[in-house]
């Protein structure tokens, strides 16, 4: 695990986006819009069949790769624990 910390406007977000752009198994997500379900897995209803299915979250999709979570401090405390 790597935590990149710095003052505002130090290009931390651009660095994470750059890493996610060239790594084959890299996922970029923003902490503002992420929830525990979005990071791990969620249950969704299929529009065509009406059946429920499990959709992998960012951490599952980046298995054996890199998951770049930007603005981790903006996430809800309960979601950070996931």
CA 2 to chain centre: 14
pLDDT at 62 over 80: yes
Interval 9-52: pLDDT, tens: 888 889 889 988 988 888 888 776 667 667 778 888 988 898 99
58 touches 34 (CB < 8 A):
yes
pLDDT at 77 over 80: no
Residue 50 Rama label (left phi>0; alpha psi -120 to 50; beta) = left
pLDDT recorded at residue 51: 93
Name which of 52, 26, 25 is nearest 41 in CA terms: 52
Q: How confident is the model at residue 80 (pLDDT cuts 50, 70, 90)?
A: low
* 41: phi then psi, degrees, rounded to nearest 5: -165, 155
């Amino acid at each position: 695990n790597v935590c990149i910390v710095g003052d505002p406007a130090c290009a931390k977000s651009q660095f994470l986006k750059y890493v996610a752009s060239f790594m084959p198994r890299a996922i970029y997500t923003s902490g503002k819009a992420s929830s525990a379900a979005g990071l791990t897995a969620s249950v969704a209803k299929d529009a065509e069949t009406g059946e429920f299915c499990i959709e992998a979250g960012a951490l599952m999709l980046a298995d054996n790769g890199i998951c770049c979570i930007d603005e981790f401090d903006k996430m809800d405390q309960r979601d950070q624990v996931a």
